[in-house]
Amino acid sequence: MKLVYASASPFVRKVRVVLAETGQADDVELLNVATTPVSTPEEVSAANPAGKIPALIRSDGPAIYDSRVICQYLNDRAGGGLYPDNSRWEVMTLEATADAIMDAAVLMVYEHRIRPPQFVYPEWEEAQWTKVARAVQAVNDRWMAHLAGPLNMGHIAVACALGYLDFRHSGRNWRKGCDALDDWYAVFSERDSMKDTIPEG
Average pLDDT value for the chain: 95
Q: What pLDDT is recorded for position 57? A: 97
Residue 173, by phi and psi: left (phi above 0), alpha (psi -120 to 50) or beta?
A: left
Cα within 13 Å of Cα(65), Cβ side: 17
Answer yes or no: is pLDDT of 36 > 90.
no
Answer yes or no: is pLDDT of 201 > 90.
no
Q: What are the pLDDT digits (tens) for 174-193?
A: 999 999 999 999 999 999 99
Instruction: Report how far residue 8's alpha carbon sits from residue 137's, in angstroms, rounded to the nearest whole number.
Output: 24
Q: What is the CATH number of domain 2-78?
A: 3.40.30.10
Q: What pLDDT is recorded for position 190? A: 98
Q: What pLDDT is recorded for position 67? A: 97
Check if the beta carbon of residue 154 is closer than 8 Å to that of residue 95. yes
- What percent of the chain has a predicted confidence (pLDDT) above 90? 86
Right CATH number for 85-195 from 1.20.1050.10, 1.10.486.10, 3.40.50.150, 1.10.260.40? 1.20.1050.10
Q: What are the pLDDT digits (tens) for 67-122?
A: 999 999 999 999 999 999 999 999 999 999 999 999 999 999 999 988 899 999 99
**Domain locations in the chain?**
2-78, 85-195
Q: What pLDDT is recorded for position 43? A: 86
- HEC readout, 68-99: HHHHHHHHHHHCCCCCCHHHHHHHHHHHHHHH
